[in-house]
Structure formats: C-alpha cells, structure tokens
Structure 1
Amino acid sequence: MARPNTKKTNTALIAAVCTALAATTNIKTGFAVGIATSIVLILTNILMGILKNKAPNNMLILFYIVFSAFFVSITHFIFQAYLPEISNQLGIYIPITFIVCLLIQLVQGGTDYSIGNSIQISIEFILLMVVIGALREWLGSGIPSMALAPGALITLGFVLAVISAIYKGKKTT
C-alpha cells in the first residue's frame, strides 16, 4: 500500500479541523467528534471504493456527497439514541462532520478512496481532536475564555506550532 502524500494529508486535517474546533471544549467531545468523523469517512470511502469503477467519473463527487450525508445522518441518530449527553453537547456539530469529510476527501485527492488512507487520517484526526479538547479543558479551567471558540483557534495555533517544530527538528537531523 502506497504511503499517502503527507503534505496533502496534513493540509486536509487542518482544513477539517477548522470546522470541528467549536465542539472540542473537552476530551470527551473532542473524541466524539473524531469518532463520528472517522466513521463517516471510512464507511463512505468503503462504498466509494466499490463504486468508483462502476460509476461515471463526473458523478463520483455526487455519490460521495450523498453517501457522506447518509452516514452523517445515521451517526447523528445513533448519538441521539445511545449517547444523548454527548449528542446534546455536540448539537449541530455532528452534522458538520459531513463538511469535514468532504474537505478531507477533496483536499486528500478527490477520487482516491483508499481505506488505509482513510484509517490513517481518522487516527490522526481523533488524536488531534482529543489533544485540542484536553488542552482547552485544562486551559479553560484557569482561563475561562479558552473554553470559547477563539480559545480553540489559539489552542490549534499552539498545537500546529509544536507539530511544525517537531517536523523541522526531524528534517535537520
């Protein structure tokens, strides 16, 4: 299995994170958003992998939108039925996973519906959401404004700066 383009993968994650930031006020909601997004991304890519050679290329994005919307709805209903507390905390942000999945897929490569790539991106996305949720939960206990939406952007900036420094350090050694 070919390793995905890391630069494209990181760009997709950054684009997707922006729509999910508002929900990551703590570890639990960060994890829930990450899981919901991962479920939708992986299941949609499984179906798209099956259909990509059977459907016309100009229809693939339409199918992707329909399948993503379907799986987002199912995920939203499951959260409402079995995880009502988390569903109430996330509110509108579970349906936003639809946009997150579209952004990830479009930036990632359009018609590359690789399951391995979807799983890798899902793991990275869950970890990022949990880290941002944990930092916001921790910082929000001392600085209440960090629990608000601008605090999410500040936290994301710090996380991306640390990740960038780590990658720069690896390249120079």
Structure 2
Amino acid sequence: MSQTDAPARLVVLAGPTAVGKGTVAGVIRDDHPDVWISVSATTRAPRPGEVDGVHYHFVTDAEFDEMIAQGALLEWAVVHKSARYGTPRGPVEEALAQGRPALLEIDLQGARQVKATMPEALFVFLAPPSWEELVRRLVGRGTEGERERERRLETARGELAAEAEFDTTIVNHEVHDAAQELVTLMKAQ
C-alpha cells in the first residue's frame, strides 16, 4: 500500500489474555516496518523488559484521567479488574490519513468501543489453539501471581466467547505464522 492510497482501513486485533497479541504485534513491528502499530497507554506498571513508548505509554491515573477528559482516547477500558488501558486517538488518525496499514492490538472491551465508532475497521480475533494451551502460556509467562492468573483466566473465558463478534479469526499456533497471516490480511485491505 502506498502513501497515496489514503485513507487506509484500520485493523483491530483482539483476543483473550495470554493468546500472544503483543508477541504477534512485536513480530510485525520487527519484520514489517511499513505497518503502523498503535502504542496503548496504560496505568499498570511495566513488566520486565517493557519500554515506555515502545510497548506501552506508562501513565499515572491522573494522566489517564486527563486523556479521557480531553477526548484523546479512541477507546479505553479497565482490564482484569485492575489497570486501565487506552488507545491514543491522534496517532491512529494520522497513520490512517497517511494511508499506512494500521494495527490496533487491544482487548475485547476496547475492540467493542472501536467497533461502535469505526465499524469500517477490520476486526480480527486471535485465538489460542486450545484452552489448555492458553493456560500453559499464561502460567509459562511467569509475570503474574496466582491471584492475578486466576483473574486473567476468568476474563479469558468471557473473551473466548466473543469470537463471533469479529470479522475473521487467526489461530495462533505459531507466532510468526500468525503475524504473517495478519499482515497478509492487512495489505489485502
């Protein structure tokens, strides 16, 4: 897609916790620099290895409140009954106006908000190969304690039930294959 084909169609990637949304987006970021990927704002603390402005914009509760008040978020939600996450509106609109393939990697609540305001976007559900594999990935990350894992698994059960709300599904058997399938979909738009 060239810069002159504006406006581009937004692609929204969502799926259950620990399915690998961030990992798929990371592969696309590394291997497909022509694809613009939104960086969400969050009030949660960084995990080991996460870089502010690359993985997320880590903000305080007060900063997040200000973003909401200014209408600066395309979508936002409380995730896992704890931290807030949101998509800054300006960079999304700018990437689309430039005609760049644009990707939002967000949670189900956020995808529903974007669908309400931008129904023309392509909504892609990233699914695990199985429930057992999703549990293995969540536990294997080692980034959450037992209480947080249980909260995320409870959330994941509801998120899996929402697959039918999406335009298409990609099963994340292997991260590079899933990333390539998503990029192919994006560039076909």
TM (norm. structure 2) is: 0.28
Higher helix share: 1
Higher strand share: 2
